């Protein structure tokens, strides 16, 4: 549970209808198995103690008595386990039978939650046997103790702030006004659903969709435990479909008819809480009629089964990736198209270096011009070779412009920069920051002045990763009149260019592939003797895949440095050592804080994803904020490596 992770499970035991002793053995057995696998909360299906399909046997006193005795046995035989169990059974209360969930922990029943919505249509006739728990706020006497009995209950762990859960039972999920809405508004971050949903054609897809949607709209985790093997098949078939979703995404799933067993997932409580804090329309409204039942778990480090993609900005499957790339390019192009149409502009100026970022900017600009029906000759690509320009990038820039049908102009800036060095008494043999930035600012001046000549605007090429690290020359490549790549991280830039290559052919395809194969570099220092690029950005600031990973979890969820370090080590365990990850994570935080002033005056640019650094949109930060507490947290960890 360290770093906000908790392991939960949904269980589908193999049961026998109306055989409470057998079913109880299976429930206890699976609870012990879940405990041995590090699970802290396990949920069983609806009426799992008796079986859902008992029919009129629910009216038999013998079955009711056996079910209650089974509950007491589960309480007793799991008392030594550090695990919360949620089991389903029928219970009598005030001369009615209720379809209930019992919450059990360390030899006690924490609460009894009755089903609120009782289906009585199609193949369901629960109203024949069960009363609705709607409006009940009471207690009942079980096993020598009074236990809260009612639908409005949240179960929370005070030792782990934020860990709380609510319960609904099967049909409660499928109605318009679900109990889970109230539970979430009263603080529940996990919703457990004990279900006995029969299987019909297409139902599993709809079930999965509704669970994903519910976890997304409530910014919660939703764990669904379905009845399976052993339920009567007289009129229905049950598949044991188990799903655990978090904030709109399925974390773990046992497909229908995959058999009895446990479905386990690591829930990230901090991630859910982060989403709720940022979402101003999420309603937190503690109600006076809610019971809050405490349980105390030992605080320990959860052994994580959860996987973390090393590329969080990029979908893992090819179909989704292609669709995402297509959508992003359309969004970028639509943003630029709208700006050009608004100002009546038919000419743009773009510095084309032959690198990834300027290539993507050219691609976007071409798409925008095509949307407007403008002549691509209005795209004025300018290549400005200087001290660090290599033949490879120069030739690629020229081929790109020609292949897309853009206008191409070469302006060599060596003489201008050397004159500037003389003006400011800069030694041209001193390859310092002035040497580098003078070239970047000269290029920007040329682009701005050419835009004036042509009655156009300058298209910015810098990306999100560079903005996060401040890897841009202030008032150099930092500045433009519209930054089309402003919310595209470097790892995604690569995939967008790759997608464009995939749908291209001939010379254009070849040059795009070569751009992808070229090391990332500002090319501000002279090349090697063999003409290859000497200045490689990732040698200086670190691997962009690491920085994009850090950026995603810092910005998207506000994770602490220690948690980002932990999940980075998991995501990159086969590629980078913890020491290397720590080195670049410290560098990331230092640069992110020290370079905020560059982000405070960014040009306009379209937001296309959930992470962006625009001072007008998602990120407002003082330029003189201290990074001390972030670095200190990492240094404390570093001493243990």
- Is residue 284 scored above 90 in pLDDT? no
Indicate the SS3 state at residue 141: strand
Residues recorded for the chain: 641
DSSP label of 55: G
User: Containing H/E element for 505?
Assistant: none
Instruction: Give the tens place of pLDDT for each residue, 126-184.
Output: 999 999 999 999 999 998 889 999 999 999 998 888 999 999 999 999 999 999 999 99
Instruction: Give the tens place of pLDDT for each residue, 346-366.
Output: 999 999 999 999 999 999 999
Question: 497 and 363 in contact (C-beta within 8 Å)?
Answer: yes
Annotate 492-518 with b (16+ C-beta within 10 A) or e (fewer).
bbbbbbbbbbeebeeebeebbebbbeb
Structure tokens at 626: 């201290």
- Is residue 529 scored above 80 in pLDDT? no
pLDDT at 288: 73
Adjacency order of strands within the sheet including 153-156:
249-254, 242-246, 221-226, 190-195, 164-169, 153-156, 291-294
pLDDT at 283: 80
pTM, two decimal places: 0.91
Q: Percent of the chain scored above 90 by pLDDT?
A: 88
Strands 242-246 and 221-226: what pairing? Answer: antiparallel
Nearest-angstrom CA–CA distance, 385 and 524: 10
pLDDT at 78: 97
Domains, the chain, in order of start with CATH, read 2-294 (3.60.110.10), 318-638 (3.40.50.620)
- Is residue 123 scored above 90 in pLDDT? no
Q: Percent of the chain scored above 70 by pLDDT?
A: 100
- Is residue 261 scored above 90 in pLDDT? yes
The DSSP string of 255-309 is -TTS-SEEEEEEEEHHHHHHHHHH-TT------TT-EEEE--PPP----------
- Number of C-alpha atoms within 13 angstroms, CB side, residue 579? 2
Write out the catalytic residue numbers.
Answer: 46, 115, 170
- Is residue 293 scored above 90 in pLDDT? yes
Nearest-angstrom CA–CA distance, 484 and 494: 15
Dihedral sign of CA atoms 79, 82, 88, 92 in order: positive
Confidence of residue 328 (pLDDT cuts 50, 70, 90): very high
pLDDT at 211: 97
């Amino acid at each position: 549970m360290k770093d906000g992770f908790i392991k939960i499970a949904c269980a589908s035991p193999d049961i026998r209808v109306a055989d409470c002793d057998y079913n109880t053995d299976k429930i206890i057995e699976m609870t012990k198995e879940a405990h041995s696998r590090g699970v802290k909360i396990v949920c069983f299906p609806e009426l799992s103690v008796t079986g859902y399909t008992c029919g009129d046997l629910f009216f038999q006193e013998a079955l009711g008595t056996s079910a209650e005795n089974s509950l007491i046995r589960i309480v007793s035989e799991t008392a030594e386990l550090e695990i919360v169990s949620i089991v389903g059974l029928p219970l009598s209360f005030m001369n009615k039978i209720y379809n209930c969930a019992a919450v059990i922990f360390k030899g006690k029943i924490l609460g009894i939650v009755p089903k609120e919505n009782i289906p009585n249509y199609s193949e369901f006739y629960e109203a024949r046997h069960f009363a609705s728990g709607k409006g009940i706020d009471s207690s009942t006497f079980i096993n020598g103790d009074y236990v809260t009995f009612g639908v409005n209950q949240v179960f929370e762990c005070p030792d782990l702030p934020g860990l709380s859960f609510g319960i609904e039972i099967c049909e409660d999920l499928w109605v318009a006004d679900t109990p889970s809405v109230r539970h979430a508004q009263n603080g529940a971050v996990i919703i457990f659903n004990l279900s006995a949903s029969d299987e019909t054609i297409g139902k599993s897809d709809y079930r999965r969709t509704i669970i994903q949607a519910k976890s997304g709209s409530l910014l919660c985790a939703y764990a669904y435990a379905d009845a399976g093997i052993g339920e009567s098949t007289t009129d229905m078939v049950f598949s044991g479909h188990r799903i655990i979703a978090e904030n709109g995404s399925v974390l773990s799933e046992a497909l229908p008819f995959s058999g009895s067993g446990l479905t386990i997932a690591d829930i990230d409580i901090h991630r859910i809480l982060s989403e709720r804090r940022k979402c101003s329309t999420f309603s937190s409204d503690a109600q006076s009629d809610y019971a809050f039942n405490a349980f105390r778990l030992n605080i320990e480090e959860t052994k994580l089964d959860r996987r973390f993609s090393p590329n969080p900005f990029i979908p893992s499957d090819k179909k989704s990736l292609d669709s995402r790339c297509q959508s992003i390019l359309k969004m970028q192009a639509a943003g630029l198209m709208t700006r050009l149409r608004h100002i009546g502009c038919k000419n743009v100026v773009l510095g084309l270096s032959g690198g990834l970022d300027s290539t993507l900017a050219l691609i976007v600009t071409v798409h925008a011009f095509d949307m407007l029906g403008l002549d691509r000759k209005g795209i004025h690509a300018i290549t400005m070779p200087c001290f660090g320009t290599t033949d490879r990038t120069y030739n690629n820039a020229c081929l790109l412009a020609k292949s897309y049908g853009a206008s191409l102009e070469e302006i060599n800036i060596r003489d201008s920069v050397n004159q500037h060095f003389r003006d400011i008494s800069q030694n041209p043999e001193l390859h310092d920051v002035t040497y580098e930035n003078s070239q970047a600012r000269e290029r920007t001046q040329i682009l701005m002045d050419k835009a004036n000549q042509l009655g156009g605007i300058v298209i910015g090429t810098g990306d999100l990763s560079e903005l996060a690290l401040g890897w841009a020359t202030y008032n150099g490549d930092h500045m433009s009149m519209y930054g089309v790549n402003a919310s595209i991280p470097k790892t995604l830039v690569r995939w967008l260019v790759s997608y464009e290559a995939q749908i291209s052919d001939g010379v254009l395809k070849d040059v795009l592939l070569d751009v992808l194969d070229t090391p990332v570099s500002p090319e501000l220092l002279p090349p090697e003797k063999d003409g290859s690029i000497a200045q490689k950005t990732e040698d200086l600031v670190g691997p962009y895949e690491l920085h994009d990973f850090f950026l995603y979890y810092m910005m998207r969820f506000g994770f602490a440095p220690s948690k980002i370090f932990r999940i980075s080590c998991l995501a990159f365990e086969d590629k980078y050592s913890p020491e290397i990850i720590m080195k670049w994570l410290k560098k990331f935080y230092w640069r992110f804080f020290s370079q905020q002033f560059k982000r405070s005056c960014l040009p306009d640019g379209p937001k296309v994803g959930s992470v962006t650094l625009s001072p007008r949109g998602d990120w407002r930060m003082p330029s003189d904020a201290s990074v001390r507490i972030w670095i200190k947290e990492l240094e404390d960890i570093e001493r243990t490596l």
